[in-house]
Structure 1
Amino acid sequence: MHAIRLHAFGPAENLVHEVTETPVPAHGQVRIAVAAAGVHLLDTLLRQGRQGPLPALPDLPTVPGREVAGTVDALGPGTDPKWLGRRVVTHLGFAPGGYAEYAVADAERLHHVPPGLDPAAAVAMIGTGRTTLGILGFTDLGPDSIALVPAAAGGIGTLLVQHAKNAGATVIALAGGAAKAEMARAGGADLALDYTRPDWPVAVRAHLDDLPAPGATVLFDSVGGTVARTALDLLAPGALHLVFGQSGGPLTLTDAERAALTARGITTQPVLGPAMLQRAGGPDPIRTLETRALAEAAAGRLRPALQRYPLAEAAAAHRALETRATTGKVVLEP
């Protein structure tokens, strides 16, 4: 089979499209003929040799990728035969192997792809979608909510905008560039602005002046840095600051600034990790979020934005993701 292999940690050019052995499923596993594989920012860190939140770096050479959708074409010993020939999607967890024409996965982690749902969309929902649903578990959006969404043209951002509008909230979207801002506007945002322009806070304040609330009630912060620092000043008293990334750099606040936020009743809540899983509940919180995310897409309530690359162009996909030149969820297709 053809796969993307990494023989040495380093730049995107180290991702090589080559022929390698087709994997054989072990006990309790299936083999999936891959139709779509997700590309995550964490994949770029691992490629560089940076461990990030994972327990360890993979042994080299490795086939990156942890999100796949496709059709089950082979079963390992002891695997329920019902899976053979089924369209499935799965998150491989800590095991790599997704950037390939075939991948193996534990049968217990599989989900059926709902009828009519594109494999690439299913891949987006099994990872990015489940994270989005987890983030939304920290807030209850409604018609009185005003959501401020930086990175609104990204994989999570586009879904946050859609959910907030479905809930009747007012959505102020921020994105890096005019084209991305237009994408957020087309996705339903009431106001969409290019946060690379210095006057974006003025435009937000002018929009807020026409609303009954004195500021945004929730900030979905995956950007950090200067954008988040400025956005905090646009929040209403008692607002919620949900933190799940820092693509624009860390948010550094002085003790005086933190005290001022506390005085305004602003609550900053990191949402990734154990806190998210506890909110999701159930015996298997991750699977709970995955199931809900797929159901939202199947019902048409959430529609992931997708940026597709051929499998052979994985290096280009990594470069685009690292330079923030992508919109939506990045997906490789063999």
Structure 2
Amino acid sequence: MKAIRIHEFGGPEVMKIEEIEIPVPKADEILVKMFASGINPADYVVRQGGNVILKPFLKLPLGLGLDGAGTVEETGSDVSRFKKGDKVYGLPNFLNGTYAEFIAAKANQFAIMPNNVSFNEAGAIPSCALMAWDGTNLGKVNAGQKMLIHGAAGGIGSLALQFAKAKGAYVIGTASRYNFDFLKQLGADEVIDYKDENFGGLLAAIDVVFDASPVFNEGARMMMAAALKDYGRFVSVQLPHAFSEEFLGILTRKNAEAKMIRRELDIAQSLSDIAKLIEAGKVSIVISKVYPMGEVAEAHTALETKHVRGKIVLEIRKENESRNEAD
């Protein structure tokens, strides 16, 4: 089978398509015939050599890709939730990568994908959706509350916005002016230009802040903390950047709390719940562009601009291959 792997850390050029053996699923795993993989900021972080959290775990050669969608090709002896041919979406085993024609992964990291989306759309969902889902849950977002989402036009932020609106929250999103109309179409009640260095002055009495931006900015973090009301909640995806004492001091004076998204989550149940929202038409998947496997370097280059609307997807194989097999 074909898989994209790296044998050295560096720029997009280090990614190579190789022929490797199809993996054999263990008792608690499924073999997934991959159709699409989402491309996430963590992918290029790994490709470049990792951050303070990932670096100790990176052993070359390795595959890239944090999520994807495909069909179940084979099930391990202990797996009863899936059967061959099921359309699924989910996460690979840690650092095994989804930029490949087949992957073996823990069955509890997958769920049946929404029945009203394509493989490319489903492949774009899991990683970002799980972080967005976790962020809104940790923030205890409820109807009538005012939520600020920083980086609302990105893969995580655009889904968090829709999850929060589905809960009945009033949502303010930060984005570039280019994305204002886009966020309004997704349901944002207000949009603020994050390039305004004093955007915090436009905010007040925020119940929940969700920092979903792929770019860490301590100044923005401080401004958003200042806008929280008493007993508010601040949730961040910026795992490599611990909360500073000054930041925590602001929250302490407000009796507010700060949390990082969790890395331990009931993945299968969360993906099933997310699928129900998508099937009900309450959440839409935004694809910026789809690239074939041979253009993975171009896909990474586009993502590294940090100005992508929604998600970039790597198409592993064509959707009609699934239809042809079913005929």
Q: TM-score range by the shorter chain?
A: 0.7 to 0.9
Q: Which residue matches 1:300?
A: 281
Give the superposition deviation at 1:250.
Answer: 6.7
CA apart distance, 1:22? 4.6
Q: 1:115 deviation in Å?
A: 2.1
Gaps of 5+ in 1: 206-213, 278-284
Q: Equivalent residue of 1:88, what SS?
A: strand
Backbone CA RMSD of aligned residues: 2.9
Tell whether the 8 Å contact from 2:133 to 2:163 is kept in structure 1 after alignment. no
- Secondary structure, in 3 states, of the residue corresponding to 1:323? coil
SS in 2 for 1:197: coil
What residue number does 1:35 align with? Answer: 35
> Aligned-pair distance for 1:332?
0.8
TM-aligned CA deviation for residue 294 of structure 1 = 2.5
Task: Say if 2:267 is the partner of 1:286.
Answer: yes
User: Is residue 14 of structure 2 the alignment partner of residue 14 of structure 1?
Assistant: yes
What's the CA shift string for 1:46-100, capped at 9, x where partnerless?
2122265458534433331232211234567787696222222231131413112
Give the unaligned 5+ runs of structure 2: 317-327
Displacement of 1:322 after TM fit? 2.9
**What is residue 281 of structure 1 aligned with on the other side?**
none
Q: Aligned equivalents of 2:293 and 2:61: distance in 1?
A: 18
TM-score normalised by length of structure 1: 0.80
Deviations 1:237-284 (A, max 9, x none): 33221222179x776453xx644442233322333245xx4xxxxxxx
- Equivalent residue, structure 1, for 2:324: none
1:235 aligns with one of 228, 234, 249: 228
How far 1:111 moved relative to its partner? 2.2
Offset at residue 150 of structure 1 (A): 0.5
Percent identity of equivalent pairs? 26
Q: How many angstroms apart in 1 are the aligned matches of 2:30 and 2:144?
A: 47
Contact 2:34 2:68 in 1 (8 A): yes
Amino acid at match of 2:234: H
In 2, Cα distance between equivalents of 1:82 and 1:138: 30
**Superposition TM-score, scaled by structure 2 size:** 0.82
Aligned partners of 1:258, 1:72: CA distance in 2, in Å?
46
Aligned-partner Cα distance in 2 for 1:49–1:142: 39
Equivalent residue in structure 2 for 1:263, among 246, 250, 253: 253
Q: Distance in 2 between matches of 1:219 and 1:115?
A: 32
Is the partner of 1:137 in helix, strand or coil?
helix
Do the aligned partners of residues 262 and 20 (structure 1) sit closer, same or farther apart at CA in structure 2, a change above 3 Å counting?
Answer: same
Change over 3 Å in CA distance of 1:220–1:106 after alignment to 2: closer
Separation in structure 2 between the aligned mates of residue 22 and residue 146 of structure 1, nearest angstrom: 51
Whichever residue aligns with residue 297 of structure 1, its letter is I
Structure 2: distance between partners of 1:102 and 1:174 = 38
Q: Answer whether contact 1:22 1:102 (CA < 8 A) is retained.
A: no
